[in-house]
Amino acid sequence: MRQFIQGIRNLIKWFPLVWKDRDWDYSFTYDVLKFKMEQQAKHMSGNSIFVNSPAYADHARTIAKLIECVREDHYGIEYFNYHECDWEFNPVEGKPGYTSLDIRVTSEDFDSYFAKYSRVYKQILAGKINVGFDIDTNSKKEIAFAISHYNENRCKRILYSMLEHNLERLWT
């Protein structure tokens, strides 16, 4: 009877997540994993099952936070907070129905962004970090984009490394 009641509680707890789930985007997989990590952290925080429960709860919470950063593309779009743009769609000459997107930077504060990630900024300028595409080092916008791309990939590497090293430990 106890397992039946726990099963009903699980159905109720997971129902909102399952209701919103779709098979066509990886972000829903992150949602499931994040929810599981949050539930596991809550369980370990409330029940000192073993000596390392508080540390494992912290690991689970950190994994959940990293999942949120990856899922929301936090680092990938962070550089947008440091500049303003005007966007304009213009018709393409000789191709009726086609438009091109013209983006014009109206203001920027990339120097603050570079100061925030000064080590990465210096390494990108020195060519020590390969972001997988060519960068015009005279273009602040391209450098900022490269930093954001690098930070997003670094966040993913940390997340996957933490999963690799901690996932099985969280349940033992």
| pLDDT tens by residue, 4-26 | 999 999 899 999 988 988 888 88
Do residue 50 and residue 80 come from a single domain?
A: no
What span, in angstroms and rounded, lies between the C-alpha atoms of 74 and 72? Answer: 5
Do residue 65 and residue 81 come from a single domain?
A: no
Residue 17 resides in a domain: yes
Q: Record the pTM.
A: 0.79
Instruction: Indicate whether 1 pLDDT > 70.
Output: yes
Instruction: Outline where 93-134 has alpha helix (H).
Output: 110-116, 118-125
What span, in angstroms and rounded, lies between the C-alpha atoms of 28 and 12? Answer: 18
Q: Residue 68: how many CB atoms within 10 A of its CB?
A: 14
Do residue 60 and residue 115 come from a single domain?
A: no
Residue 166 resides in a domain: no
Specify the pLDDT at position 172.
52
Q: Tell me how many domains the chain contains.
A: 2
**pLDDT higher at 41 or 158:** 158
pLDDT digit string (tens) for 106-162? 888 999 999 999 999 999 998 898 888 888 888 898 999 999 999 999 999 999 999
- Domain boundary among the residues 41, 72, 103 is at 72
Domain span at residue 42? 2-72
Instruction: Indicate whether 51 pLDDT > 80.
Output: no
Specify the pLDDT at position 30.
92
Ranges 24-28, 61-65, 67-71: which has the least confidence: 24-28
Beta bridge partners of 104: 86
